[in-house]
Structure 1
Amino acid sequence: MTQEARIDVELTWSQAEEKSSAEKTSEYARRLPKGPWFGTPTAGARGGGEGRSKETWPLRSARPYRREVALGEAAVYLADGHRELERPFIFADGFNYGPSNLDDLFAHFNAPYPGGRKGFLDQLLAAGIDVVLVGFEQRHTYIQANAGVVISAINEAINRRVGDTPLIVGGVSMGGIITRYALAEMEDKGQDHQTGTYLSWDSPHNGAWIPLVLQQMAYFFESMPTEPGKVKEAELIRSPAAQQLLYAWVPDAKYEGPVATASELRVQFLSELRELGQFPQRPRKLGVANGTGTGVGRDLPAGGEVFEVQVPLVVYARANFQPDGGERKPIGEMRAVGQVRRGFTSHVPGLDGAPGGTLDSFGKIAKALGAEIPATYEYGCFVPSVSAVALDYDPVAWDVDPYERVEAVDEKSALDEFKCDTENTVHSQVTKPLVDWIVERLVG
């Protein structure tokens, strides 16, 4: 029987340190970078989509979720030689904070990449596939709410399409989960989505991973006094999307207890997926992973120290890589304004070095805090390969070896076909092995 993954926290208080450090700590907090931590790479892309011939569709979910009616937008790029929509490829944006920027999304997926002759989206457009990028007004809201936006995009594409060529529908990161839910919901309600192929790009079908110690730090440092109106460090991590997406999550820096079921939002989301049959049944289901399928991860020592920073009488922070299982293993420590918090985990897998698409969360947070970090430690696993290829295991208990050679056990996947990268590349990165595989299946 799998033992419960949990976190424990030791809290202590130094009144003398509190009095001597409050003013200096406030100044330190004001120097911290503004905005939420843990954003994914497409947010930083610029250029490439602007000025291209496109049409935009305003999108509104046809039904509320938890009283929220989600909004979004589609950017439509017609294939070479097309004057109307003929062969739509609907591709949804993924996990991040705030509204989508579809020009950035186009730029990210159409950027030059090593070994490529032309951008991924340009290859599709040249092959007669119309590209419909779907963005959301709030990427960080409920997956089910944004699934309503995707359903509206699918219906709009069906209404505008000339001919009866089946749709291709999918997304990157959480966009692949949103479209998975949308298609399954349409089937459950007897709605004809007219989709022949579903495609996910490094989507965390069984959950994503953000180190628990970094989640704790986001909450801890946002509590330090700073100027009003700032978007706080933990805004993304506390969002509905993060709660639904992450295998392990904590609601604040003091939390003790289970981490795989800490949020009822994830419990409910997983329950709804089961009721919908987990995946849409009619389309061919394809997926790609930015992680390797060989079982080879990154050389990150489980439980080892990642970075340490100390400003005397102001702040101290130490982060460790996630220990691999065990009982009450230390993950880090934080001190400021007299508060001292030490974190420990039990029965949590050491996912930082697992094969998978990576994020530079350790690097960005170390830089934000002014800590030095080895370059090889900046990136850790965000979407484990076993999750991106939808292996059959319990998404709460995580009764799976994250180092499993998934390329050798394709029959255990809920996808009909999948492709892993040849290296553990950055989450959502466009690489030649992945593009060649997708283009071969979508164009042929």
Structure 2
Amino acid sequence: MTSAPRIDVSTSLRDSGAEPTSQELAELAASLATDVLFTLPLGSAGGAEPDATWQLTGERASGTAAVYYAEGRTHLRKPFLFADGFNYGPSNLPALYGHFNTPYEEGRPGFLDQLRARGFDIVLIGFDERHTHIQHNAEVARQAILRTVAERLGGEPLVVGGVSMGGIITRYALAKMENDGYDHQTATYLSYDSPHNGAWIPLVLQQMAYFFEKLAPAEPSQAALIRSPAAQQLLWAWVPDSTYTGEVATASELRREFVRELADLGNFPRRPRLLGVTNGRGDGVGRPLPAGEIAFDWQAIVASATARFQPDKGTEQPIGGMHAGLQVRRSTTSEVPALDGAPGGTLDSFGKVADAISAKISEEYRSGAFVPTVSAAALDHDPVTWDVDPNLDLRDQAPDRFHLDDVGFDTDNTTHGQVTAPLAEWILDRLT
């Protein structure tokens, strides 16, 4: 019987050297970047000014909706609701609009402009705390849906979805509304590279976030994002600190509870047509990241850090280590699949961590899978045990192997949440 995926951390003392002085620690801390790294890269560019702004308040969370009417219109008639994704702190809706409306081909309007030209009214849903519990922000999404229904003229049904975690928030909100007897009047649900069965942040990088937080405290810190309720609910494999030893698959009770709640609600809403796109390829071809090989190796006077790409299962496979002063920590994993190189929407997580500590890293090693294709495509597999080959060719799978009614794949493994021609055209074709 295969054992559960786990991580083991060992500590030892260096053979030579001394504990760093306060001045050396201060110099090291000053050299470390403390930005929040493992998130959808929106940038700061804004889009058109919204025609209306709604304040949304649930029982446990609050947020904002930015409304953009279709061309030539002054009211809601054909709503397209789209929720923001995983990050720390409040949503930046102008940046979200700018990101999804950046032209993906020269000479063509942006994706949102094309939707508005085809008669859709855009309602972007943002959250005051993107890092809080998914169930809490689902209350904000529900308020946006109810207000849309109240203000819409005519009987055109809604399209409701979101990017990244936004697709999970709206998935939960619609299923909960059905369970509670609300009429959400939604005909189509759309997820954009959403981690339906979990997301992946390399375990060694999670450990480093905690490790370097102690050396260079900041608010918010990268470790604060990893500790957040949203991260615990989204990540298939999670560790609570840099020294944790134990099982990692659905290690947080918050994720276990959320998975159970979704199952009790039927996993997905039953009434809408379920659509989804993934920034990953569908043919099982991932990124050429050698499992178990060193991604970067950083050495400073009083500290060091080595990160390896996740090995492919096995027992007590090295994933890296770190030290500050005399204490050295080394980490191994057992039965954890090689998800860094799996097909899926990518983040430059290795690159950003390397940059934060001024470590050298090859350009081709910077990015790995964040939302594996098997997760974004909602392939029917256990979200706890992940009894699935992450490199499975999904193009020829029977439709009943997916929770979604229809899935659009990218032609390459592109950045998580990126608007690409294959995905935008697929959505436009399905909606219009």
TM-score w.r.t. the length of structure 1 is 0.95
Alignment check: 8 A CA contact 1:385 1:402 kept:
yes
Alignment check: 8 A CA contact 2:31 2:357 kept:
no
Structure 1: runs of 5 or more not aligned: 64-68
1:248 pairs, out of 228, 231, 237, with 237
Residue-by-residue CA offset, 1:147-169 (whole Å, 9 max, x unaligned): 00000000000000000100000
Residue 48 of structure 1 aligns with an amino acid whose one-letter code is G
TM-superposed CA distance for 1:36, in Å, is: 2.5
Answer yes or no: is 1:437 the counterpart of 2:430. no
Residue 91 of structure 1 aligns with an amino acid whose one-letter code is F
2:57 aligned residue: 60
State how far apart, in whole Å, the 2-side matches of 1:102 and 1:281 are. 29
Alignment check: 8 A CA contact 1:47 1:107 kept:
yes
Answer yes or no: is 1:29 the counterpart of 2:29. yes
Answer yes or no: is 1:86 the counterpart of 2:77. yes
* Dislocated runs of 4+, deviation >2 Å: 13-23, 34-37, 229-233
SS at match of 2:169: helix
1:396 aligned residue: 384
Alignment check: 8 A CA contact 2:298 2:360 kept:
yes
TM-superposed CA distance for 1:32, in Å, is: 1.4
State how far apart, in whole Å, the 2-side matches of 1:370 and 1:273 are. 41
Alignment check: 8 A CA contact 1:22 1:337 kept:
no
State how far apart, in whole Å, the 2-side matches of 1:319 and 1:25 are. 22
TM-superposed CA distance for 1:239, in Å, is: 0.4
TM-superposed CA distance for 1:45, in Å, is: 3.9
Residue-by-residue CA offset, 1:335-377 (whole Å, 9 max, x unaligned): 1132211010000000000000000000010011111000000
Residue-by-residue CA offset, 1:210-232 (whole Å, 9 max, x unaligned): 000000000001111x46x6422
1:269 pairs, out of 255, 258, 277, with 258
1:19 aligned residue: 19
Residue 226 of structure 2 aligns with an amino acid whose one-letter code is I
1:8 aligned residue: 8
Residue-by-residue CA offset, 1:72-121 (whole Å, 9 max, x unaligned): 00000000121110011000000001100000000000001136611000
2:396 aligned residue: 408
Alignment check: 8 A CA contact 2:89 2:131 kept:
yes
TM-superposed CA distance for 1:410, in Å, is: 4.6
SS at match of 1:164: coil
Residue 394 of structure 1 aligns with an amino acid whose one-letter code is D
State how far apart, in whole Å, the 1-side matches of 2:19 and 2:204 are. 26
State how far apart, in whole Å, the 1-side matches of 2:204 and 2:168 are. 26
1:317 pairs, out of 305, 322, 337, with 305
State how far apart, in whole Å, the 2-side matches of 1:37 and 1:110 are. 23
Answer yes or no: is 1:423 the counterpart of 2:409. no
Residue-by-residue CA offset, 1:182-219 (whole Å, 9 max, x unaligned): 00000001110000000000000000000000000000
Residue 45 of structure 2 aligns with an amino acid whose one-letter code is R
State how far apart, in whole Å, the 2-side matches of 1:95 and 1:116 are. 31
Residue-by-residue CA offset, 1:240-279 (whole Å, 9 max, x unaligned): 0000000100000000000013100000000000000000
Answer yes or no: is 1:201 the counterpart of 2:192. yes
TM-superposed CA distance for 1:122, in Å, is: 0.1
1:303 aligned residue: 292
2:318 aligned residue: 330
SS at match of 1:10: strand
Task: Number of aligned residue pairs: give it.
Answer: 431
Answer yes or no: is 1:48 the counterpart of 2:36. no
State how far apart, in whole Å, the 1-side matches of 2:222 and 2:377 are. 30
C-alpha change, 1:129 and 1:333, in structure 2 (3 Å) is: same
State how far apart, in whole Å, the 2-side matches of 1:108 and 1:17 are. 49
State how far apart, in whole Å, the 2-side matches of 1:152 and 1:135 are. 12
TM-score w.r.t. the length of structure 2 is 0.97
State how far apart, in whole Å, the 1-side matches of 2:272 and 2:392 are. 27
C-alpha change, 1:20 and 1:82, in structure 2 (3 Å) is: closer
C-alpha change, 1:53 and 1:250, in structure 2 (3 Å) is: closer
Alignment check: 8 A CA contact 1:35 1:230 kept:
no
1:188-227 alignment runs, 5 A limit: 188-224=179-215, 226=216
Alignment check: 8 A CA contact 2:86 2:165 kept:
yes
Residue 46 of structure 1 aligns with an amino acid whose one-letter code is A
SS at match of 2:240: coil
SS at match of 2:181: coil
Alignment check: 8 A CA contact 2:191 2:277 kept:
yes
Residue 438 of structure 1 aligns with an amino acid whose one-letter code is I
Residue 12 of structure 1 aligns with an amino acid whose one-letter code is S
C-alpha change, 1:130 and 1:345, in structure 2 (3 Å) is: same
Residue 284 of structure 1 aligns with an amino acid whose one-letter code is R
C-alpha change, 1:394 and 1:18, in structure 2 (3 Å) is: farther
RMSD: 1.4
Answer yes or no: is 1:370 the counterpart of 2:358. yes
State how far apart, in whole Å, the 1-side matches of 2:21 and 2:408 are. 52
State how far apart, in whole Å, the 1-side matches of 2:375 and 2:161 are. 16
TM-superposed CA distance for 1:234, in Å, is: 0.4
Alignment check: 8 A CA contact 2:132 2:229 kept:
yes
Residue 291 of structure 2 aligns with an amino acid whose one-letter code is A
